[in-house]
Amino acid sequence: MSDHEAEFREFVGAQMESLRGLAYLTCGDWQVAEDAVLSALARLYVKWGRVENHGSYARTAVVRAAIDETRRPWWRREQSHSHAMPEMPAPDVIPDVDDRVQLRAALMQVPVKHRAVLVLRFLEGLSVPQTAAALRCPEGTVKAYTSRGLETLRRILGADLSLDERVSGPVAADRRRTEARHEAF
């Protein structure tokens, strides 16, 4: 086994669950998410030696693949009747399950491009320029989609919620506040 292959296997082992979760939040279907991850990893494997930031490339490719899968016409989309993947997380694995289930249901009601931006910005912690690069769109589009997506989530979840903390937890909210203070200088 070559060094590249060993590195790739190690990367996949460490990142697979995270990438599947990202794809699921983007498209809302476990089977489609699995397909998106596998196709993204296949593309990454071919380019492994030429890609500098494997994690960033994989996240970007997964989100794009998940969006593409949701755009496929229904007559070309394969229908899987397997129930191998659970639709809800196990309560002992993820704290605040009710909040996360409610948030996931709300995210599925947000248009797919807005959802992709929200997932990359708030769950993956990417900046506006990084998100724009990942989705190959202008920064203004990312800002507009962020605003519209958050507005939709607020309407769905209720305006009295602290959305930053519901989406990514208090640690990420503190990190964003700190980053915003640094950007102001």
Give 117: exposed, middle or buried? Use CB within 10 Å, 0-12, 13-18, 19+: buried
**Residue found by looking up tokens 């409610």 in the block:** 102
Residues 76-89: b if buried by 16+ CB within 10 A, e if exposed: eeeeeeeeeeeeee
Could you report how far apart the first and last alpha carbons of the chain are, in Å?
A: 50
| pLDDT value of residue 161 | 47
| pLDDT value of residue 28 | 82
Sign of CA dihedral 31, 35, 101, 75: negative
Q: Which domains does the chain have, with CATH numbers?
A: 1-73 (1.10.1740), 95-185 (1.10.10.10)
Averaged pLDDT, 31-51: 90
105: three-class secondary structure by DSSP? helix
| pLDDT value of residue 82 | 44
Kindly state the percentage of the chain with pLDDT values over 70.
69
Whole-prediction pTM:
0.53
Structure tokens at 176: 């964003």
| pLDDT value of residue 96 | 57
Residue 11 has pLDDT above 90, yes or no: yes
Structure tokens at 72: 């496929």
